[in-house]
Amino acid sequence: MKNLLRTTSLRMFKLLDIASIAVSFILAIIISTRRLEASELLHTQIQVSDIVAFLVLLFGWHMVFLWGHLYESRRIGTRAGEYYEILKCITMGSVLVLALGVFLHWEILNKSFFAWFWGLLLCIMVLGRLLLRNMLETLRRNGMNRRFVLIAGSRSNAQQFAEKIERRPELGYVLVGFVDDAPEPSLLKGQFQSRLIGTLKDIPQVLRNSVVDEVIISLPIKSYYEQIEGIVRLCAEHGIIVRFLRGVFSLTSANFRFSLLDDMPVITLCSSPYEDPQILVKRLFDIVVSAFLLVLTLPLLLAVYVTLKVLSPGPAFFIQKRVGYNKRIFNLVKFRTMVEDAEALISSLEHLNETDGPTFKMKNDPRLTGIGRILRSTSIDELPQLWNVFKGDMSLVGPRPLPVRDYAGFDSEWQSKRFSMKPGITCFWQVGGRSKIDFERWMEMDVKYVDTWSLWLDIKILLKTIPTVLLRRGAY
């Protein structure tokens, strides 16, 4: 009954998605072409190629939804997380629809259709999933589609997990009990003291004699590696799902993924978002926006170039080795704002450094030229970095790229996490005070960006950068 209900619910989700696509497609055509009369639709000629194309379209959508993990179990997770995945999949699938329309020269797939189709499908799918999820949760509250959970470990995070699933009957989880080698009864909360059903060596017997659908491992991997390996192997033999609580690896910001290289299983632990599919969207956004801004600001770039050549002897551009993504070295391009031998003069000015840490900053730096001060205060000197963004060395938003000299002065490993994202023209540091912020706080802001990154965060930072640049906050 349990497997039948799970299979039936999965089929319901897939049928709902197919119906949502078909209904949204038809409604978008009706609205965008204003064919409100049914008789007009009945007399519309539909060719065999159109039917084939539509079936290909449905298959493509199905593959997009599989890629987006929309058919995985959502017992553990948030509604917002599922809706966000739906949004990503619909946006990607809509691009597929647009590409197919351009390829087949379907005139009905215009901008109006695209907007209506995207909006209708998003609303219908979210509403449909909301109704289905509520129905499944109601069934679980009434004792159907339950899953029995055994927890290996009894420490605080294991008890927190048990508390959460018992407080939420809509998840359908039933706690079988805890198994642990060295439990401390005094640390077990009152309601759990009677739920300790054995040691780790008793797990084979528990799995043989009890209904267990999932095993949650909450043991420190350093001291329980062999036991964890045995539990995982045993669960694989029984066909039982294994989940690890985050505390197993003593990491607070790592994501885990499972994949196959040919027939070799690979577990990926990623504490940065660079494995996120959204990174591709971020890169496409960087290419489009940087190309647009390079064209838009071309007259200004030429004017600054000519002005520098006339007023400041030497090259107009300053090219410096900077540390990029995962310590890759690249050539950063800026308009030159200092005298030609500025790099060689740093050692003689080191005692006047106004910042802490390995970076060098001076408000009244004697190496700055007259035109250079203006370029610095207006941030115009940064514009050539749009070329670095277009090439792929940088992103519009990301931790600022540091000179090789500054990176050599790093004394804490946690600061290096900032290099797990491409460096950017702007980030928290730029909109939060720039040169007024001490080095330690700057690094904390960069790590925070990596840990909390999303496309929406990039957009918010870009919007905050505009007034920061116009008001010249913290620039020198």
Q: What is the pLDDT of residues 455-467, one digit of tens each?
A: 888 999 999 888 8
Residue 1 pLDDT greater than 50, yes or no: no
pLDDT of residue 331: 95
pLDDT tens figures, 77-102: 667 777 888 888 888 777 777 776 66
315 or 256, greater pLDDT: 315
Q: How confident is the model at residue 257 (pLDDT cuts 50, 70, 90)?
A: low
CA distances for 370 relative to 223, 311, 366, 375, 442, angstroms: 63, 9, 10, 9, 28
Q: Is the pTM of this model over 0.75?
A: no
Compute the distance between CA of residue 112 and CA of residue 363 in angstroms, rounded to an integer.
Answer: 53
Listed residue (163, 138, 137) closest to 149, CA to CA: 163
Read off φ and ψ for residue 334, nearest 5 degrees. Answer: -140, 165
The kind and range of the H/E element at 236 are: helix 221-238
Q: Report the pLDDT averaged over residues 405-429.
A: 83
Q: Report the pLDDT averaged over residues 264-282.
A: 66
pLDDT of residue 21: 83
DSSP 57-88: HHHHHHHHHHHTTTTS--SSS-HHHHHHHHHH
pLDDT of residue 187: 62
Residue 55 pLDDT greater than 80, yes or no: no
Q: Report the pLDDT averaged over residues 257-262.
A: 54
Q: Report the pLDDT averaged over residues 276-291.
A: 83
pLDDT tens figures, 393-415: 999 999 999 888 888 877 777 77
Which residue's structure tokens are 């115009």?
A: 380
Q: Report the pLDDT averaged over residues 229-250.
A: 78
Give, in degrees to the nearest 5, the angle at Cα 373 between 440 and 317.
90
Domains and CATH numbers, the chain: 2-141 (no CATH), 147-250 (3.40.640.10), 278-470 (no CATH)
Q: Report the pLDDT averaged over residues 279-286.
A: 85
Listed residue (27, 117, 157, 10) closest to 69, CA to CA: 10
Which residue's structure tokens are 């029995």?
A: 148
pLDDT tens figures, 152-167: 988 888 888 888 888 8
Residue 370 pLDDT greater than 80, yes or no: yes
pLDDT tens figures, 308-357: 988 888 899 999 999 888 788 899 999 998 888 777 777 777 777 767 66
Q: Report the pLDDT averaged over residues 129-144.
A: 82
Q: Which of 76-90, 103-117, 299-313 has the lowest mean pLDDT?
A: 103-117
β-strand partners of 329: 323
Residue 148 pLDDT greater than 50, yes or no: yes
